Structures are given as structure tokens and as C-alpha cells.
Amino acid sequence: MSTRLNIICMWICFILLLILGVVMVASTGTCVPGQEKLVWYKTFLGKQCIFALLGLAVAIGMSCVDYRRLRRPVYWFWGLCVLLLICCYMPVIGKNLNGESRWIGIGSLTFQPSELAKIVLMITLAHWYTTRRECAGTFWMGFVLPGALLFGFPLALILWEKDMGTAAALALSGLCVMFASGSRIWLIMLAALLGGILLYLMMTSSPNRMLRIEAWYDPRAFSQGAGRQQWIAILAFARGGLSGVGLGDGIEKYGNLPYAHTDFIFAEIGEEWGFLGAAGVVALFALMAYNGIALAVQTQDTFGRILALGLTCAIFWPAMLNIMVVTTMLPNTGLPLPFISSGGTNLLFTIASIGIITSIQRHTPVIRQNYWPLRRLKDIQKP
């Protein structure tokens, strides 16, 4: 399959998921008390439509710009990203919601720097391994400096924000990039082991996180407390059955399922669209990931190849972790579903990632070995 077909398939999957997101936010967001009193552009549906259109404009603009221009100011981007992550802890600018310091707020506007960090860190790793390809398998230049400093320091800031879901998804994306760039497998396994130990220590040191773990083991026993979201999600899937109860006919969103329009919107998809609809969403994300990886493999430019892989992983892993949380395969981490969950920053930067991947396809020469003139030339040259 050519890269043009790959990017077309990615856009088809992305548009379908985006449309589904607007439809499901319309179905679930209007059930939140107080929405009917707001001006249309302040409602969840209005914000979703505005940010979707704005994201599409950004994606089209990014696709028209040569992605290689991102390499020159890459460390400026990295420094700005770190500064914004640090601002989340400042008492005036940073906003603490539900005990988590993920946002920067100016008036009524909020911004989540960790969403920007997903793109910036993938660009930074791609630039580092492109300029130091011969050192990719070494310990210091191929693992410690890019893994611990350029990638690990911002990741630690995100983890310290108590945003464990985003940190886990970003760590998985970074490990995939490092593996594909040539880092030694035993070093990557060591990093994964250390990350798992750190995650375990952070969970056991917090009574709230341990309560989430206990609720994950038995959601029914904690159905009126820490396990309420996952227990109601199970009931929503059970009520939806194979084909669902119908769009707009779900009942769990009416005060039973907290955050039904954001982190647990996949449960409402299961209730209203059934198993077939939920499986279709998983299939769309899997198809998008397949085409993103296929595009990266066929890209001749090293920077473009690594960046396309990194951005594809930065879309795929958050989606899979969200789905695993909603289906009680993982403890509750508070991670939105890309393209579908209600939210501004996440939606905007995730769509921007599609624009950068499109730019890679448009501005990178691809030479296919099985292309007919080249194959024919090889046959002629054979004695």
C-alpha cells in the first residue's frame, strides 16, 4: 500500500472518530446539569464543535508546511514545553482541579501543557536520533541523555502533576520510538522495569490511589465510592448488548455515570451503540495505527520516519489505555479518549498530530523497491 493510501485511510478513520465524538458529546453533554442555561458556544457541544473546526484548520495548515522546519527550533519548543509544565505548579497561573495540577488558567480559559508535550517530545526524540544515528545503540548518547533528560524530565513533571494516565501513555510512546530508533532492547526493558517500580511506589504511597486499586479489583463492592465509574460502565455495556439501545436512549449518563462526556464516554458508546459500535471504535484506532506505522516504514527520511511513528503511538496508546480503563482492564487513571471525549486542548493537539503526519507524507520522497520501472530495471540488469 502506498503512503498516499495510508494517509487517506488515516484521515477517513480520524474524520469518522471526530464525527462520532461530536455526536456522543451532543448525546452525553446535554445531560449535565446547567448546560441548558449557557450560551451555545460555552456548552460542551459548542466547545467540541469549535475546537474540532479549529483543529481541522490547524491540521490542514500543518500539512502544507514542510515538517522538517520543526527541527531548527526543536530545543526552544522543548524549553517552552518544560516551562509550561512548571507553570502548572505556580499558585497564580496553575489550576488545581480534583487534586490534580494539570492545567494553566487565565481567567475562564484553561490549557493543559501535557497535551503539547506529546507532540514536542516526539519531535525532540526524532531530532535527537536523526542527528546521532550512529550513537543510537550506545548507553549514554542513545539511552541516558535522550531517555532521562530530554524525555524523562518532562515526563517526571507530568507524573508529578498526578496525571498518571498521560504519563503512562507518553512513556509507552517514547519507548516505542527509542526501540525503533535503535536503542538496545535490554536498556528499554530496564527502563520499563524502573518505570513500573516507580509507578508502584507512587500508588502505594497514596491512600487515594490504593483505594482506586482496591475498587478496580472489586468495582461492585465500591460501587458507591471509588469504583462507581467503572461499575456503572460495566452496567452500561451490559445494557447495550450487541447493537445498543439506540443513539440518545442511554440512561446511565443521567447523573449515574460521572464524566460520561469525557473520560468515560466509551461506556456510553457501548450502551447506545452496543458491542458492535464499541468494537468499531477500537477497529478505527487500530486501523489508524496500522496505516501510521506503514507510512513511517515507507518514509525515506529518518526524521520523518521516527516522527510519524512517535505521533502515531501518541494517538494510539492514550486511546487504548482509556478503553482498558473503561472496560475495567486497568485502574481508573482519568485519561480522555482521543477525538471523541469532550475537551479543548486534547482535541486540538491530537488533530494537529494528524496534520504533521500528513506533512510527512506530502513532503518526503518515497522510493518503493517494487515500483514497476525499478523492478523492471533490475530484471534487465540481471545477466
Q: How many structural domains compose the chain? A: 1
How far is residue 240 from each of residues 92, 234, 252, 277, measured CA to CA in Å? 45, 10, 11, 10
Contacts of 217 (CB under 8 A, 6+ apart): none
What integer pLDDT is reported at residue 378 of this predicted model? 42
Statement: residue 263 has pLDDT above 80: yes
CA pair distance 158, 152, nearest whole angstrom: 10
Statement: residue 370 has pLDDT above 50: no
CA pair distance 303, 363, nearest whole angstrom: 12
The mean pLDDT value of the chain amounts to 88
Residue tagged 460502565 (cell numbers) = 233
pLDDT tens readout for residues 175-214 = 999 999 988 999 999 988 988 888 888 878 778 778 888 8
Q: What residue type is 110 in one-letter code? A: T
Beta carbons of 307 and 126 less than 8 angstroms apart: yes
Q: What residue type is 295 in one-letter code? A: L
CA pair distance 30, 267, nearest whole angstrom: 16
Structural domain of residue 284, as residue ranges? 3-381
What integer pLDDT is reported at residue 99 of this predicted model? 65
Length of the chain, please? 383
Beta bridge pairs of residue 104:
94, 111
Beta carbons of 134 and 107 less than 8 angstroms apart: no
